[in-house]
Amino acid sequence: MNIVDKFGYIKNLSREQFEALQSISQLLNREVYEEDIVNDMLDWVLHVVNAERVVFARYELAGESFQLIASRNVNKKVTNRLEDFSVGIFRQVVLRKQPVLYHDVQNEQGLSQFASVLIKKIRSVIGVPLIKNDEVWGVIVADSQSDRREFTDSNLLFLNFIANLVSLALDRAVKLRVLAEDNLLLKRQVEEFREVPDMIGSSKAMKDLFKLINRVAASDATVLLLGESGTGKDLAANAIHRLSSRRENPFLAQFCGSIPDSLLESELFGYKRGAFTGAAGDKKGLLEAADNGTFFLDEIADISQALQAKLLRVLENREIIRLGDTQPRKINVRIITATNKDLQQMVKEGTFREDLFYRLNVFPIRIPPLRERKEDISLLAQHFIEKLGRSELKLGRFSLLKLEKYHWPGNIRQLLNVIQRALILCDGERIEEEHIIIEEQQETMSFSGTMEEFEKRLLLKRLEEHNGNRTQTAESLGVSVRWVQLKLKEMDIK
Ligand SMILES: Nc1ncnc2c1ncn2[C@@H]1O[C@H](COP(=O)(O)OP(=O)(O)O)[C@@H](O)[C@H]1O
Ligand SMILES: [Mg+2]
């Protein structure tokens, strides 16, 4: 068919055919799935060609086989078997790479295959190839049991248009799907490997923590950070804010330990002029100032019962009332809290409100103590050396061993102190063992009991710090495992 003839046909396309073409070409502009395209196409073909059945089969070049993708039947009885269609027609289409049209199938040589009663009844067939890179990869076949006038050359041309458009649309849908899948995969990988700003660590424990921080940062959930002093709770709270959608808004923090109640209250909630002596004007509280941002309450276990009640109200109603005021003000603040105390135990003992605990404990994150991730010590030490402007300094093997042997009750903060001290002491180019000076915790120094009591307490504390591991306990105390065992026996401890 030459160009002029083609235009002649186009001019003669029916209104329905135009509508179908338009509707199918719109698929090209939408984000659609392959199934949707195929289903739309079959509906249109059935409708416009006025066939009784239509089928779309994929052609596998390798095995020269057909695979039924979808089919339609006017009386809604869906035929799901490829055998119910004449495979002879599919072959013809593949062979010719062109649309085919038959009005008297049963008398066509090489086409009538009496595999199925259904096929035996077919009189008119129209078949169109879907071509990509000059190869047939699919076939659309519509057929009818009567001699259909509608199966005309003009319909053949129309089907060919459709086939071309569908080829394009499917191609695009497949590409989009592949891209979407790749994207999902990459996102997962990024999440796995994405580091948390300023937090150093490559241990399994820290990688898990980074993953958790990234996850929770994407939500707006209230977070409770649990961990010993110096493990990085402040750092984690800040990281959650910076990785969240609130990052452009304020991150404010309030330390709640050992601060007079009234002061803490006016800091958090603000006050109205005249609320108390010295309240010369209205003042916004920190919670209000953190609107649309994140508020971090550090050492939450230390707040008074009265403040616990007020904080509960903030979490329940998302509003605050300034001291001396009556009018509540709405705030939109994400709350992160932290403690190194056992809040659950405090709830049991009645010193911490249970309802507040549940409000704070929506997403608890435990930050592991440094002694549970000793493999990070080298990385951390190096990081601190660099951060303190002495990147030319190397950490000697024995000094690293010494650091790794210690149990770090003060965690990373203590490690930072030790490195700081080492840098002052070191004037060579390598930090040696003697530059590593680890102070014992003051707590043990202020002990006022007997030597025996002291021994017992220290041993039990170390055991606890090493999760009952006697070898590590002995190592950290500079004694033999046998000594630890003997002592425990002496003290009658299992
Ligand atoms: N993973 C880490 N990588 C680098 N520095 C850390 C890390 N964790 C903690 N620090 C540093 O250790 C010190 C104590 O951390 P901080 O967040 O204040 O602990 P916490 O609030 O749990 O007591 C800070 O100087 C902090 O920058
Ligand atoms: Mg802290």
pLDDT-derived band of residue 99, with 50, 70 and 90 as boundaries? confident
Q: Using the mean position of ligand 2's atoms as its centre, give its distance from the Cα of residue 400 in Å.
A: 26
Q: Tell me the ligand closest to 410's alpha carbon.
A: 1
User: What pLDDT was estimated at residue 60?
Assistant: 85
Nearest CA to 402 out of 441, 382, 430, 374 is that of 374
User: What is the CATH topology of the domain spanning 371-435?
Assistant: Helicase, Ruva Protein; domain 3 (1.10.8)
Residue 354 has pLDDT above 90, yes or no: yes
pLDDT-derived band of residue 445, with 50, 70 and 90 as boundaries? low
Q: Tell me the ligand closest to 413's alpha carbon.
A: 1
CATH superfamily of 3-177: GAF domain (3.30.450.40)
**447-490: CATH class:** mainly alpha
Nearest CA to 244 out of 230, 223, 268 is that of 223
Residue owning the nearest CA to atom 2 of ligand 1: 199
User: Ligand 1 pocket check: which of 229, 339, 365, 412 to mutate, most ligand atoms within 8 Å of Cβ?
Assistant: 412
Domain boundaries, the chain: 3-177, 204-366, 371-435, 447-490
Domains 3-177 and 204-366 share a fold: no
Q: What is the mean pLDDT of residues 281-310?
A: 94
pLDDT-derived band of residue 113, with 50, 70 and 90 as boundaries? low
Relative to the CA of 376, which ligand 1 atom is closest?
1
Residue 358 has pLDDT above 90, yes or no: yes
Which of 374-378, 385-389, 464-468 bottoms out in mean pLDDT, i.e. has the lowest?
464-468
Q: Tell me the ligand closest to 257's alpha carbon.
A: 2
- Share the mean pLDDT of the chain: 85
pLDDT-derived band of residue 447, with 50, 70 and 90 as boundaries? low
Residue 446 has pLDDT above 80, yes or no: no
What residue type is 153 in one-letter code?
D
Q: Using the mean position of ligand 1's atoms as its centre, give its distance from the Cα of residue 364 in Å.
A: 18
Q: What is the mean pLDDT of residues 458-470?
A: 85
Task: State pTM to two decimals.
Answer: 0.58
Residue 155 has pLDDT above 90, yes or no: no
Q: Tens digits of per-residue pLDDT, 198-215?
A: 899 999 999 999 999 999
Give residue ranges with CB within 6 A of ligand 1. Answer: 199-201, 227, 229-235, 380, 383, 412-413, 416
User: What is the CATH topology of the domain spanning 204-366?
Assistant: Rossmann fold (3.40.50)
Q: Tens digits of per-residue pLDDT, 396-437?
A: 999 999 999 999 999 999 999 999 999 999 988 999 999 999
Residue owning the nearest CA to atom 23 of ligand 1: 230
H/E/C letters for each residue in the chain? CCHHHHHHHHHHCCHHHHHHHHHHHHHHHCCCCHHHHHHHHHHHHHHHHCCCEEEEEEEECCCCEEEEEEEEECCCCCCCCHHHCCHHHHHHHHHHCCCEEECCHHHCCCCCCCCCHHHHHCCEEEEEEEEECCEEEEEEEEEECCCCCCCCHHHHHHHHHHHHHHHHHHHHHHHHHHHHHHHHHHHHHHHHHCCCCCCCCCCHHHHHHHHHHHHHHCCCCCEEEECCCCCCHHHHHHHHHHHCCCCCCCEEEEECCCCCHHHHHHHHHEECCCCCCCCCCCEECHHHHCCCCEEEEECHHHCCHHHHHHHHHHHHHCEECCECCCCCEECCCEEEEEECCCHHHHHHHCCCCHHHHHHHCCEEEECCCHHHCHHHHHHHHHHHHHHCCCCCCEECHHHHHHHHHCCCCCHHHHHHHHHHHHHHHCCCCEECHHHCCCCCCHHHHCCCCCHHHHHHHHHHHHHHHCCCCHHHHHHHHCCCHHHHHHHHHHCCCC
User: What pLDDT was estimated at residue 77?
Assistant: 62
pLDDT-derived band of residue 441, with 50, 70 and 90 as boundaries? low
Q: Look at 104 and 109; give whichever has higher pLDDT.
A: 104
Q: Using the mean position of ligand 1's atoms as its centre, give its distance from the Cα of residue 149 in Å.
A: 82
Please say whether the beta carbons of 246 and 293 come within 8 A. yes
User: What pLDDT was estimated at residue 443?
Assistant: 52
Q: Using the mean position of ligand 1's atoms as its centre, give its distance from the Cα of residue 278 in Å.
A: 37
Relative to the CA of 231, which ligand 1 atom is closest?
22
pLDDT-derived band of residue 385, with 50, 70 and 90 as boundaries? very high
User: Ligand 1 pocket check: which of 241, 251, 413, 419 to mutate, most ligand atoms within 8 Å of Cβ?
Assistant: 413
The Cα angle at residue 244 between residues 239 and 245, in degrees rounded to 5: 150
Q: Tell me the ligand closest to 210's alpha carbon.
A: 1
